[in-house]
Amino acid sequence: MPRRVLEPQFAIEHLSILDSDGNLDTSLEPEIPPDGLKRLYRAMLLGRRLDERMVRLQRQGRIGTFAPIKGQEASQMGSVFALRPTDWMVPSFRETAAMLWRGWPIEKMLLFFAGYLEGGRPAPDQHDLPITIPVATQVPHAVGLAYAAQYRGDDAVVMVFFGDGATSEGDFHEALNVAGVWHVPIVFVCQNNQWAISVPLKKQTHSRTLAQKALAYGFPGIQVDGNDVLAVYAASREAVERARGGGGPTLIECVTYRLGVHTTADDPTKYRSEEEVKAWEQKDPLTRFSQYLQKKNLLEERLEEQIDAEIAAAVQRFEATGAADPLTMFDHVYAELPPDLQAEREELRERLEKSAPRRSDEEVPPPLPMRGQRKTSRWQN
């Protein structure tokens, strides 16, 4: 029998609207009101300045290890800007700018990276999942959310973020397969920053793009200039509208670059060259977008001062938080604490009471609950 072509040769598009030299393709320029452009730039700048402040806080020992976002602000903000508050956002561990846009207080994120479990709890009315540290484990969770929205008939879209390293994990492929089979309303946003810690993209896949991996699972994929916030938004808006209209999933590959360290425990000079970093600095998404706004006369005066003051006030609120209650380590794992752990909890409680500073009346105060916690039923929504 002769061979038959079952699928024609696929094609993957690359979208760029505003390049690093300031050239604008007006035919593709998305319609964003002036106020929206200002808010978008402010969110990107806030993400960058908070990122820089957090690095200093970590080096001073005031917070723990975290993953900086410098260089990836356009990939995050261009995509999340297309969502409604009633849609779901599922982050990995490097979505600070997107989380700020979705309403996470700065001090709450600082609490998380200082080791307070309370910092990872979304607000009761917030349609976000917490930060996810293990690579790619959040992708199947996001598909589950999308399936639930579809099953219940909710008018909601799910957007999940991950890096290029996640595409080498089984969770990623299993999630895309289920999403394609069930045709769920989800947008997969891959921030391809070229490095999975110290492993370059070329050692992760032989595919020319990551976007093309969507085609094997039966839905569209597109590659965009991840440092071009206009291109990211245009692709994301189209994907969100497709999902909301019943058109199923989309995979968006944002080609970007991590200008800083993988985490504050990393030394990228061990595996990448200074020349490579400098070349990508010329494509800085913040510089590119600010020049675009300057031509439109939309840059706000004293914006840097306002952002610095906002961050400083949040740091003060964070550092004014009282010490965490160590007994919370026993909470939120079991519905009913097993006898052995109950005994350990009681032993720790007694030791804490004995070691606590005593008041003049010899009374021992109980451990204070964290800000925003109740003394009982802490996690009831």
Q: pLDDT tens digits, residue range 213-245?
A: 999 999 999 999 999 999 999 999 999 999 999
pTM: 0.89
Would the pLDDT of 370 be above 60?
Answer: no
The more confident residue out of 59 and 115 is 59
315-354: string of b/e by CB count within 10 Å (b at 16+)?
beebeebeebbeebebeeeeeeeeeeeeeebeeebeeeee
Residue 364 has pLDDT above 70, yes or no: no
Query: Which residues form the catalytic set?
Result: 258, 262, 271
Percent of the chain with pLDDT over 90: 86
Beta-carbon contacts of 56 under 8 Å, excluding residues fewer than 6 positions away, are none
Least confident of 20-24, 95-99, 281-285, 340-344: 20-24
pLDDT at 8 over 90: no
Q: Which amino acid is at 334?
A: Y
Residue 359 has pLDDT above 50, yes or no: yes
250 beta partners: 187
CATH of domain 14-319: 3.40.50.970
According to the model, what pLDDT value does residue 7 have?
78
Confidence band, pLDDT 50/70/90 cuts, at residue 53: very high
State residue 3's pLDDT score: 87
267: pLDDT strictly greater than 60 = yes
Per-residue pLDDT, 358: 64
Q: Which residues are CB-neighbours of 227 under 8 A, at least 6 positions away?
A: 20, 71, 74, 75, 255, 256, 257, 283, 284, 285, 288
Q: How far is the C-alpha of 259 from the C-alpha of 263, rounded, in Å?
A: 11
pLDDT of residue 360: 52
**43: which residues sit within 8 A by CB, 6+ positions away?**
77, 97, 100, 101
Q: Stretch 5-22: mean pLDDT, rounded?
A: 89
User: What mean pLDDT is predicted for residues 5-9?
Assistant: 78
Instruction: Report the pLDDT value the prediction gives residue 16, as an integer from 0 to 100.
Output: 98
Any idea where the domains of the chain sit in the sequence? Answer: 14-319, 325-381
CA distance 275 to 293: 29
- For the cut 50, the answer to whether the pLDDT of residue 206 exceeds it is yes
- Write out the two tokens for 78: 């261009």
The model's confidence at residue 325, banded by pLDDT at 50, 70 and 90, is confident
Residue 381 has pLDDT above 60, yes or no: no
Phi, psi for 255 (deg, rounded to 5)? -80, 110
Which range, of 115-119, 227-231, 270-274, 321-325, averages the lowest pLDDT?
Answer: 321-325
Q: What are phi and psi of 63, to 5 degrees?
A: -135, 170
What's the pLDDT score for residue 366? 52
- Name the average pLDDT for the chain: 93
